Each structure stands twice: as C-alpha cells, then as structure tokens.
Structure 1
Amino acid sequence: MPDVVHLDTDGTSYILDVLPTGHLQNLYYGGRLRRMDDYEPLRQKNDVPYGTMVNVSQEQRNIGLDDQCLEYSGLGKGDFREPAIELVFADGSRTTDFRYESARSYRGRPEIPGLPTATGGEDDVQTTEITLRDADKGLALVLTYCVYASYDVITRFATLRNDGEPVKVRRLMSAQLDLFGGDWRLVTFDGCWAYERERNDKPLAPGVYVNDSKTGNSSNRHNPFVMLAAGDCGESSGECYASNLVYSGNHAEIVERTYQGKVRLLTGVNPSGFEWLLEPGESFTTPEAVLSYSPAGFNGLSRNMHRFVQDLIVRGEWRDKERPVLVNNWEATDFDFDKKKLLAIAKEAASLGIELFVLDDGWFGRRDDDASSLGDWDVNEKKLPGGIEGLVPKINSLGLKFGLWVEPEMISEDSDLYRAHPDWAVSTPGRAPAYGRNQFVLDLTMPEVRAYVVEAMTKAFSQGRVEYVKWDMNRNVSDGYSKALPPERQGEFHHRYILGLYEILAELVRRFPGILFESCASGGNRFDLGMLCYMPQTWTSDDTDAYARLTIQGGTSYGYPQSVMGAHVSASPNMQSLRASTIETRFNVAAFGLLGYELDLTMLSPFDKKAIKEQVAYYKEHRRLLQFGRFLRVPNRLDPDKTQWAVVSEDGREAIAGLFQGSARVGLGQDVLTVPDLDTEASFSVKGRPQYINVKAFGNLVNRVLPVKIRGDGVVHTVLSSHYMFRMADEDYVANGDLLSGYGIKLIQQFSGTGYNDRVRILSDYGSRLYFITTVR
C-alpha cells in the first residue's frame, strides 16, 4: 500500500492513512484536494500522551486510539467511543484488533450477495478494497469503497470473513466516518404514521445520538438518511455531509461527539436485537452505505443524492420513463365497492385525462374490512363477477392502464392460508402474538413461505393486463422469532426477513419487468434506498393533506428525488387532518411528485372537474420537468410561513416554481419569487399557471366581484360556486436570469384585507400558485 489511499470524485476527496500502530485512520473527507508529495499536514500530531490514555503498544506510547480519527473501530484496545464492530468469541471475550494488511483498486464494482446495491459499470465507478486483519482470531475485515466520481458519492460496505473459530457478530456497521472537529449539527428526518420525515436539527454537544428503527423496517420514525451540517449551513451554502443506507430493515445511525470535538458517524444494521453466528469459512457482508459531501448547502447535497438515486438506485424499464397520472379508488370507496362503482370512477378518470386506474384493497377473498383474507389472493367474485380478467379489458377500453394493490407479506388470522399454515405467521413460542391492523406477518425467513408469495403474486399479476402494482405493508414486525431457525440463530431473524423480502422482489421483478411497482408501508414506513432498487417509486405518506405534505415531501426531498415520491390529490376536508384546502393547492403540492388522484371522481362538482382536467393537461405538458428536473427548496425572504419549491431543467433554461402560503395574514401581501440555478445570461418569461377560485370562498364578499347581487352562502351562491370558474389574476413577467435566480422578482400584490382588481392575487389560507419559467425566444 502507498503511504495513503487518496480517493477522488469530481468535487471531493477521501483520504486514508495507516497509523504507526497499523490501524487505519481517516485523514480527510471534504472538498477535492490535489495529490500531495507529503500528507504530513493532514496527520494528527501525537507527540505526548494524555491523562487516562490507553496506548496500544509500548512502542507507540504517544498514540491512544480514543482520540484518533479511525476508519473502523472495535472494542478493547483503548477506543472507548461507539464501535463499528462488536464480536463475541467462544471464550466470551470481545476484544478485537484489526490492523492494515493490504489494499487494491479496480474499475467497476462488486455485488453484495442477497442485498441490493447501487448499479454501475467500469465507466461509472472505481472500487478500492482495504483488508484489515485480526491475526490473533483468524478474522479478515474487508472495507469496500465504490467511488462514483461524477456524482460526488462514495458508497461503503464491510465484509467480515472468519478463518478461525465460530464467532457471534453483535455489531457490524456499514460505514464509520470520523471528523476531526467543527461546529456540526445532526439533521434527521423523523415522524410517525401520516407525518413522516419532518426535518429536525440537533446541535452536537458532547454525547451520543441515536437515529434508529426497531420496527422490522426502515420506519416512519427515523429515516436512515441523515446529514451532518456545519453551523452556518443553509439551503444554498455551507458544508454538509449525507449518509444513507441501501437497506429496508432495522437500521441505526449513531453519532458521537467527544469533548475534544471529534465527531463519529456510524450507519448500518441496528445492533439492537441483532446477533449473527459466523461459522469457520463463512463471511457476512453489510448493506451498502451511501456518503456524500457538498460545500454548497443542503440543495447541493440533495443534488448529489437525487442524481445518484435516479441513475444508480432506481433501475429497470421505468427508471427514465415518465410516470402515468393515476387514480386510486381507496379514499373514494374504502372496501365498499363493486364492478359498477369502479367502472364509474374509471369512466370519469378517462374523461379528465387520467391514464391509470388502480384497484386498491378489498378485491380478494372475503375482504370486506381489514379483519380477514390477507394471504387468500383469489378474486372476490361477489364484488367482481368475471374477476380481474373481466374488469381489466373494460378499464383498458376507456383508454386507461390497470393497476392492483397487494399486501403479500401479511396474513390474516381469518384466512384459508392461516387455517392451513398457522406456523407461517411470525410468533414467539409460548406467547400469544401481538396484532397489528388485525393481521400477522408472514415469516419470510422460511423458504416455503417465500415460494408461496412468489407464486401467489405471479398468479395475481397475470390476471389480465396488470401494468402497475402497489405493494403495501401495513404493520410493524413484532414477536420476532422464526421456527425455521435454531435457538442460536434467532438474533438473525430481522435481517433474514429482509433478505427473504429482497429474494421475493428480485424474482417478481425478473418475471414482470414491465410492471411499474410502487412500494408502500402504511404510507412512508419503508421509504428507503433498498426498496427503490426494486420499485422505482414509493408512496410518500398516507397523509394526503396538502399543507402537511409541504413538510412531508419537503423533508423527503433532502435525500430522495421527486421522481420517486407518490403524491395524490384527495378530497377536502382531508380525511386525515380534516383540513380544507382548494383543489388548486392540492394539485400544486402533488405536482412536485408523481401525480395521482384519490377521491371519488363521480361526486365532483363541475367546478372541480374542469379544474382537474386543466391540472392533468398542465402536468402532462410539463411532466418531464416536474418529475425529473432538479428539485430545489427556496427559503422565503419575506415570510417563513411560506414555502417555495422549484424544479429546474439541466440547462437552466426552464423551470416551474411553486409558492405556498400557510395562514393568510392581513398586511403581508408582498412576495418575491426566486428561482435558483437558472441560466444567468438568458432572459426569462414567468407565467402564473391559470388557476381558479371557487366563489364560495368569498362568502358575502362575493358581491364585490360579481356583476349581480346574490345572497352570500345562499342557494344561488352554492349553485354558482359549483359551475362558475373565477379566474385568478393573470401574472406575466419578464426578467433576466441573474435577477430571477439571485434576488428574485416582486410579484403583484396579494389581497390583504381591502380592495380588489384584476392585478391582485387571492391566495387565502393554504393558497398557492405555480409559475412556469422559460427563456424568451
């Protein structure tokens, strides 16, 4: 090995060195540095020991591992911080001591057995493997670094190979990153059902911070995507690091700041409840971690992650395809539907320009509520005479594609499958299993269960022409135990469950390469890179309230592109929040994702039908930009209660911006529209999307804008509001790119308590508008 390993992306450098003790250390990770003849300026000086220090050897008495920036730490040799590896040997000891042995580099990258990884061939990625060895125990530890230069991303994983006696693996993290110092804060994305991935910032004081999941999936509680941000980091400037995990199970991101200011980040499979028996001759490889650095603030970091996810995580026929506008029947019908009702919704959808009809829960077994039939994937002929095969041609004849909802990982106690195979449900011997949504979890560690799921889904997806599948998972995993595993391997259950899931998904994607799969887990309970390797989009949240979605989709956007986010327009008041919002705002928020509608289209007013028809046409016209453009979060310079998003084309010559208001406030009627990353040398036209206001919103003020007098909130007013399309004030501006992408342009005044004319914007509570920006030709 040379004195150092110096890994470069287009904009970053990652530099490793070996301490005199033989331990691998991290010299630097940040903006790109030129190669050096001498790396001494980057090395920590260890000229004298400090009090209570444990030195590894008498020959290196000034070096204590507890104050070094190490690359992969264990227990028992003086590093008392959170370790990356924890093993238990046959004699009960836990001390490990891995020292540098060799390194090699090559073009391309390896796969990980049983686990998904980023893609990439010899032209995309260069791999470096560094082997460390604990000679006393016959263990080799291979640290793998895959460098995606043009993405400013380095992925990492670790492989432990046992050439000695049996050993129990209690902890084996995918990556460890030690930073020398700085004023860092930990940024996590936390939540619960129907309010996932809200951004939370935690200034790092000395101590340990844990962001993890113990639910059996990546969870809605704490997403595996985290950031370390400098104290002055904002959306457009400042240093920040990102870490994510290509994994869908229990994970942990552990951050420790020492009193001396060093910061350690660990990410990988959650050590809590995990134990893996590694026999002689066996290896264990961790999931892949994804690391990135940007000096250009959170938007710069998001750009790295978005491009990486779009190009190298998502794969298959749908990776670069524009996604169809869909309608899902769930919030329209719940379980209460028949063929006639579904076709009525589909007919309305076709008339509005919608392209895909999705049949959600309730089409199989005796599924009239959530208490039965999961696992019995035969069509309910009472609801659907003629089955799916009879329904699909009728849907197709309307010009719509057909999609189907399934929840294959679950089993109902009241099901033929459970009565035949109660042992297939996850449960702990001698204990009554816990329920979640009236259902149990299938034990995917069992080969016969995996085979059943694959064949049952193959049959379901072969009914007629199924072109889209929504794969749901509506409960967390409890009672973790497998009857297929011996007692000494029960600590492997949760990881083996995920391995079983990936095996199933890989086979079904192979059998049905043309199906557009969407992952779902009670909304965003499993929104992660692992699922995106098989399914190119994920249902973002069960909360479809437009105002809540600003937080949910905005938080999600830090680590994931809008091209993977399902976003639907639902009814008002919203079913989850009971908040009322306009049909225009509901669309404007959903347009920054993969657009769908989830409401009873047969019950719409003429006003809403006309509005939706124009929305769908607008979305289709700009679909490529909205789904695959560069997504930006733009702080509002005048009012923090307003949210602004933008998507910008790669060449900076086209964009769509959205301005979203929270509570309307009298006297604050001025707004500035800023759209970063435009071509500063070009001139641009800025046009507000044609939008309509329901005159019901004006109450008695309706007489200020109508040519005739009517009774506010009366019968005439109600009838009028269902038919009359009151057009929002037109907005049409011209501005140079340097102004628009820098300071911004001042918009026409918003209604602020008095006066109205055709140059006044009306937004009200939760109001919004989209703007199309394009070069002047």
Structure 2
Amino acid sequence: MGIEFENEKRIFTLQTDHTTYQFQADAYGFLLHLYYGKTVYGGMDYLLTYYDRGFSANPYDANQDRTYSMDALPQEFPTSGTGDFRSPALTVKNSDGTYSCDLRYKSHRIINGKYSLPGLPAVYATEDEAQTLEILMEDAVTKVQAVLLYGVLPKYDIITRSVKIINQGEEKIHISKAASACLDFVSGDYDLISFYGRHAMERNFQRVPLSHGKQILRSRRGTSSHQYNPAMILAEKDTTEESGNCYAMVFVYSGCFKAEAEKDQFNQSRALMGLASELFSYPVGPGESFLIPETVLTYSAEGMSQLSQNLHRCFRNHLCRGKFKNEVRPVLVNSWEADYFNFTGESLLKLGREAAKLGIEMLVLDDGWFGERNDDNTSLGDWVVNEKKLGCTMGELIGKINDLGLKFGLWIEPEMVSEDSDLYREHPDWALQIPKRHPVRGRNQLVLDFSRKEIRDHVFDQICSVLDQGKVDYIKWDMNRSISDIYSSETKEQGKVLYDYVLGVYDFLERLLKRYPDTLIEGCSGGGGRFDAGMLYYTPQIWCSDNTDAIDRIEIQYGTSFIYPASCVGSHVSAVPNHQTGRVTSLNTRGVVAMAGTFGYELNLGLLSDKEKEEVKDQVKKFKAYAPLIQNGDYYRLSDPLKDELGAWAFVSEDRSEALVNVVMLKQHGNMTVNYVKMRGLVPEAYYRIDGHDRLYSGAALMQAGLPVPIESGEYLAYQKYLRRVEQ
C-alpha cells in the first residue's frame, strides 16, 4: 500500500498519494535518511556524498575510511555517542555513568493498519487506510533496543513517527533526551515557522530564517503551554499559501516538549521533535520499555494551505475520537463572563430561559459551583456541590435546565488543589511540592500529583458522583497554572514525574470517555495553554484562548489554523466592551469571528437589547446552517492579518460546490481604498452565486480578481458571504 523495501540496497520507501519518504540501512547498520518530498521514483541513495571532513569523527567499523562520518551524514534517528556532534534524537545514560548508545539495524516488519501507543494519544487508522513499518535497532554492548515506528496514511499525505525504547540489558539505564522524529536535509534554504504567545494571546505566527546554530522551541511548564506550541513548519524561502515546498512536524503530546532546528557546518539542516530534556531523566530497568510520544509529519509542494489541510483532515478523521468528532457541536452559552463567581441557581435559570428563547442549545455552568468557591483562592479539590449557592441539588438544577429544552454542561479543574480545601488539609502530600520548601503558587493553587493512581482515583470518584446526578452533556476541563515544584513522594526518580503526570491526565480522560461516551469534553488551560494534538485525542475541541476579543481572536485563530482544524477551535461571542481588552466591536463582527470555530456565547444574554437578541437568533440559525461546511470544509487563509488591512478566510466544501467567505476590516482610513479578497479552492470553470444575489461569478474570476470589500464608515466591520455553485 504505502511501504516498500528494496532488499539489495536495504532501502525503505514510504509512499503517500503525493509524497515520498526514503531511507536506507547501510552496510554498517546505520539508518541514513535519503529523501522526503514530492513523489519520486527509484533509489535516492545517490544523494549521499562522502568526503574527508576535518574534525568529523569516524565510526570504528569504517577502519581507515575518513570519508564516512555520522557528523555529516543524514540520519533517521541520531544518538549520542556515535561521533555526530549535531543535536541527537536520543541520549542514554548507562549504568556506568557513560552517555552512549550506538543503535544499528537488526530487522524490520511491515504491518497493515496503524500502530497504537498504549497510554498515549496517537493517530489511528484501519488496515485499509494505513500501514506500519517497524524497524528494530540495537546497541550491541548494552543491548538497549529501539523500535522505530512509522505510520503511513497515503490518502492524507501523513507519516507518523514514534519510538519504543526497550532495555534488554542487565542494568538500569536513564533516558535523558528523547525525540520521536528527526528530519535531516542535505540541501535547502529554509525558514522556520513557529507559534509563540502568552496567556490571552496564543499561537502568534512567526517566520524567521533557519540560520547556523540551533533554534529551539520548548515548554518546561508541565504543559505544552501558551508560550510555544508543539508544532513547527520548515518552508523554503519562496513558499507562500499557494506554492512552494514546506514540511510540518506536530507533537502528539500535552506536556513539556522540545522542538529543535539547526543548520550545520555543511549547510545541512536538521529538525527534531520530542520531549523536553530539562527536568527529564527517565529510568528504564531491565526488561522495561519507554514510549516516546508520536510526531506527525506532512509535506506539501503546493504551499502552506495544502500543508494545513493535510493536518486538518488527519486530525479531524484520525485523531479526534467519539461521537462528536464529526457531529455539529451544540451552540452554548457559558456562565463565566455572564456572572463569573456571582451566580445563583435562579440567575442560571434566568440565563437559561434567555438562551432557550434565542435558539441556543446548551447552558454551561463554569467555575464556582463546588465547595466554598466564591473566588479563585479556595476549594479546588473539594468536588462537592454547593447546594446552598445553587438553592438546590445539582441534579435538580440539571433537570430545570433540561426542562427549558437545553442541554447542560459543567466546568471542572481536576488536576488542581487549593491550600484552603478539605482535600489539602487531609492530604498535603498529594500536591506536587518540594520538601522543606514553600511551594510556588500559581493563581493561588497547587497541582495534584496525577502521576499517582490513588490521587486520580479519589478525584475521579468525586467528580463522577457529581456527573451522575443528571445528564451532563458537556464538560469543560480546565488547568490554570504551570507546574513548577517537581517532586513526587512516591518515587526517588524525580526525572520521571512530569512524563508520568501527563500519562495520568490521559488515563483520567480515557476513563471519563469510557464512562460517559455521550459527553462532549472541551479541553482548556487558561484558554489555549494546552492546545495540542495530544489533547485532541481526548477532547475534540479546545478553548482557543481566554481572550474573547474578536480582533485579537483573528490573529490567534490565524496562527492556530496552520496546524489545527476549525472544528476543534472553541470560540465564543462575548460582551462589549470586551472584558480582556476593553475594545468595542459589533455583534455581527463578533459572530463572524466566532463562527470560525465551534461557536457559542460568553455573556449575559439578559443585558442584550431586543434588536441584539434578534441578531443572536439569526446568528444561531446561520451557524447551524453553515456548521457542516465550517467543520468539514477545507480552510483557506485569504489574507495575512498581521500585515493586511483585513482578515479574511474561507471554508470550501470537498466537492467545491459551496464556500463561506469571511472578512473583517482591521484598518480604516480617510478616503479609503478598495480591498479585493481573492478566493481559493473553487472550480475555475464553474459558476457561483452569492446567497441573496442574482449575479453569477466564475470560479476563475473569484480566484484571480476577487470580490471588492465595500467601503463603509465604521470600525471593524465584518462581512460573511455564502457561495453555491450553480449548473449552467
């Protein structure tokens, strides 16, 4: 299907519909990377060159051949201790204190279907949709083995990589660095595209030249973080949205990570994606194994739109799971920006009655429903309903909301504990904190040690006792601080705690999904602090950012769109002046921007005017009509909001029969010039009609010349146009 092996030269070729990935097990057993790019035929080993390079070491096997050096050859899985002085994918500390792991090819097998990773999220596929290549490598001295896993999904132009480290020796080893994917390029002049940010301003697009030296993106915060997203793109200098060669690497993991890119002394480039090496030293005893989380690779010869669409299709169909992965999500109203902590049972019912009148489908009760939680200083860990505040039981509240014709959702933050809580007073050792030191606080809360099963079990039982009181259709899972005090009382190996913590979070989520398969879970970490492919395996949507300002959201959602599909972007209409920026935008503009995601409301509906309520009704109807297109259509960036006078994007159906074009004016000037928005993804020779208008436009005209944006007086005006192909 997608994997071929040429026995004489021991060349492995991974073919997708439009790409070729090729490497070779050479005469010494090293795996040398040959090629990754647009489809080619035949062996690419002719690209390898051998010269005597000064100060580049040679493996002992090469005898007097100074032209053979791992310091110059492109590799599949470079390790420390082989004479390669570039960044390694794997560093092993042996029982004698040495750092060396010389892995050589031993065998391989090709399997129909896609490998899975027990306890970790991973892309999945059937035997008809994918193939797996397993390469077994071994260090002859220590008997440490590495099973390199390659998953090939031809239809999506996706290749996944993971590694299983197995200790077949007699002594314990420690893994101090572990990357699941390495891309070595023997030529090329690349830009590095990454997505940096901060709380309330995540995933900002950054494009810089890949230069000599090492460029590192990483999180040491215990989560994938607001600051750097675990994804990067390498693009040739002239690559645009529509043309040029580019590569994406996306880590399917929700904890600390490190992405590295470097140009070496010979102008070769290397990119690595894997676990952060700081605060990490994982013990693997004899007979034990360790899994490096998966990296998703994709390549496009047709620019970054195609690259993004490859990832979007894969994540929608082969990473997200459960009944909601392809379903239109319910339009909800969240109580947070409506009332914050200051709600009562009656105020929630009032919000619910307003929502029902407007066609909204779900009410979500956010923070403040448990313990003595009237501010953010107390009660995390005490998952007991505050019936005094609600004026009833949780089950009774859910019943009353359901009687209004609404679904019900609930906010939780299972990983956290307040010092002012019954749980902490009873079990202070359950929090991650270093003995004899005062803990570092974040938002006046500490982090529970989710690497310990008994702690997860306790919290799980408490939360389930609440969820079992009524039909909870939606859970918002939050996580509102970084992890700083790395110490678990259950182990002497503190270098394993953060990795095991993430496995614990995944275990908890997996148990929730199995117990409540009809419940939609939305991930959140102060908004977009854990917006990563790993979480998508458990939560098919993630709250994009705590910043609900429509204009900031255009930039945030722009950066997000390079990697993640709109179907997973939690996005709401909030009040004005906006609670984060104080900016005032029209309800129409806020609605257009929020429809580039799962769509909902984050405001007090009772404060809207009658005119605004009618507009909300219309927005809900529009979103429900457009939702299948938004969720499953191809996404096109039609402008660069960081440079252009407008933000523009479109959704186009797979059969090219319909499209939804969205435009927001970002800049306004006196005697304004006209902006033209050029479409993408239409059938050139077909004709399209804009909903509500009689005129027909050819696809070619819309893509080559575009549509003029009206010149109107006002700030941040927005336009939304629905196009349908007509038969001539």
TM-score range, shorter chain: over 0.9
Are 2:465 and 1:459 aligned? yes
Cα deviation per residue 1:284-330 (whole Å; 9 max; x = unaligned)?
A: 11101100000111110000000000001101111111101100010
Measured in 2, the distance between the counterparts of 1:427 and 1:163 equals 34
**2:387–2:394 contact (8 Å) kept in structure 1:** no
1:83 aligns to what?
Answer: 88
CA contact (8 A) 1:651 1:679 kept: no
Confirm or deny that 1:750 pairs with 2:700.
Answer: no
After the TM superposition, which residues 576-595 of structure 1 pair with which residues of structure 2 at under 5 Å, given as runs?
576-595=580-599
Residues 638 and 671 in structure 1, CA contact (< 8 A), matched pair in contact too = no
**Residues 371-430 of structure 1, C-alpha deviation per residue, up to 9 Å, x if partnerless?**
111111111112112211111121111111010001111111111111111111111111
AA matched with 2:55: T
- 3-state DSSP of counterpart to 1:383: helix
Match of 2:12 in 1: 5
1:358-378 Cα deviation digits (max 9, x unpaired)? 000011111111111111111
Structure 2 residue 311 is matched with structure 1 residue 361: no
Match of 1:128 among 129, 133, 140: 133
Write out per-residue CA displacement over residues 318-354 of structure 1, whole angstroms, 9 at most, x where no aligned residue: 1111101100010010100111111111111111110
Partner of 1:694: none
The answer to whether the 8 Å contact 1:177/1:266 transfers is yes
Match of residue 222, structure 2, among 216, 224, 235: 216
Q: Work out the CA distance in 1 between the residues paired with 2:128 and 2:504.
A: 32
Letter in 1 for 2:699: G
- CA apart distance, 1:127: 0.5
Helix, strand or coil for the counterpart of 1:455?
Answer: helix
Q: 1:209 is paired with a residue of what secondary structure?
A: strand
Counterpart in 1 of 2:65? Answer: 60
Q: Secondary structure at the match of 1:419?
A: helix
- 3-state DSSP of counterpart to 1:60: coil
Structure-2 separation of matches of 1:625 and 1:742: 23
Aligned position for 2:30: 23
Instruction: Give, as a single letter, the amino acid of the residue that structure 2 aligns with 1:522.
Output: G
Return the alpha-carbon distance in structure 1 between the equivalents of residues 93 and 643 of structure 2. 56
2:502 aligned with 1:541: no
TM-score by length of 2: 0.96
**Pairing of 1:462-477 with structure 2 (within 5 A):** 462-477=468-483
Cα distance in structure 2, aligned partners of 1:492 and 1:201: 34
Task: Name the counterpart of 1:700.
Answer: none
The 5-angstrom pairing of residues 730-741 of structure 1 reads: 733-741=695-703
**SS of equivalent to 2:552:** helix
2:595 and 2:201 map into 1 onto residues whose CA distance is: 19
Amino acid in structure 1 at the alignment position of 2:364: V
Q: Any gaps of 5 or more consecutive residues in structure 1?
A: 689-730, 752-761
Distance 2:707 2:641 in 1: 12
The answer as to 2:415 corresponding to 1:412 is no
In 2: Cα distance, 1:656 partner to 1:334 partner: 34
Match of 2:394 in 1: 388
TM-score normalized with structure 1 length: 0.90
**Distance in 2 (alpha carbons) for counterparts of 1:161 and 1:636:** 46
Identity of aligned residues (%): 42
- Residue 511 of structure 1 is matched in structure 2 by 515
Which of 619, 624, 635 does residue 620 from structure 1 map onto?
Answer: 624
Alignment pair present for 1:116 and 2:102 = no
Structure 1 equivalent of residue 324 of structure 2? 318
The one-letter amino acid of 2:675's match is D
In the aligned structure 2, how far is the partner of 1:83 from the partner of 1:638?
35
Q: Displacement of 1:637 after TM fit? A: 12
Deviation, structure 1 residue 609? 1.1
Match of 1:600 among 576, 596, 604: 604
What is residue 776 of structure 1 aligned with on the other side?
A: 726
Q: Which runs of 5+ in 2 are unaligned?
A: none
- The 1-side partners of 2:521 and 2:468 are apart by 14
Q: Look up the equivalent residue of 2:636 and give its one-letter code.
A: L
What does residue 687 of structure 2 align with?
683
Q: Which residue of 2 aligns with 1:693?
A: none
Give the deviation of 1:21 after TM superposition: 3.2
* Structure 1 residues 220-231: aligned runs within 5 Å: 220-231=226-237
**1:137 and 2:137 aligned:** no
SS in 1 for 2:247: strand
Q: Aligned residue for 1:328?
A: 334
Asked if 1:246 is matched to 2:252, the reply is yes
> Which residue of 1 is the match for residue 525 of structure 2?
521
The answer on 1:289 being equivalent to 2:295 is yes
Choose which of 171, 183, 186 in structure 1 pairs with 2:189. Answer: 183
What is the CA–CA distance in structure 2 between the aligned matches of 1:636 and 1:173, rounded to whole Å? 32
Deviation at 1:131, TM superposition (A): 1.4
Q: What do the CA deviations read for 1:154-210 (whole angstroms, capped 9, x no partner)?
A: 000111111112111101211111111211011001100000001111101101011
Cα deviation digits, residues 185-244 of structure 1 (max 9, x gap): 110011000000011111011010110100000101100011001101111111100011
**Residue correspondence of structure 1 range 710-729 to structure 2 within 5 A:** none
* C-alpha deviation, 1:112, in angstroms: 1.4
> Residue 256 of structure 1: SS of its match in structure 2?
strand
User: Is the 8 Å Cα contact of residues 555 and 642 (structure 2) preserved in structure 1?
Assistant: no
Structure whose CA Rg is larger: 1
Letter in 1 for 2:499: H
SS of 1:357 mapped into structure 2:
strand
1:733 deviates by: 4.2
Tell me how far apart the structure 2 counterparts of residues 425 and 52 of structure 1 sit (CA, whole Å): 50
**2:115–2:124: 8 Å Cα contact kept in structure 1?**
no
Check if 1:107 corresponds to 2:107: no
Residue aligned with 2:473, SS: strand
Aligned counterparts of 2:123 and 2:461: Cα–Cα separation in 1: 27
Return the offset for 1:459. Answer: 1.2
**1:438 Cα deviation (Å)?**
1.1
Tell me which moved more, 633-642 or 667-676: 633-642
SS state of the match for residue 260, structure 1? Answer: coil
- The amino acid of 2:483's aligned partner reads V
- Is 2:34–2:45's contact at 8 Å kept on the other side of the alignment? no
Give the letter for the 2:119 counterpart. Answer: G
Deviates more, 1:544-553 or 1:738-747: 738-747
* Secondary structure class of the residue paired with 2:71: helix
Deviations 1:522-564 (A, max 9, x none): 0000001111111111000000000000010111010000000
Is structure 2 residue 102 aligned with structure 1 residue 97?
A: yes
Between the aligned partners of 2:632 and 2:676, the Cα distance in structure 1 is: 25
Q: What is the deviation of 1:741?
A: 2.6
Equivalent in the alignment of 2:21: 14
Q: CA deviation at 1:765?
A: 2.0
Other-structure match for 1:703: none
* Pair 732,771 (structure 1): closer, same or farther in 2 beyond 3 Å: farther
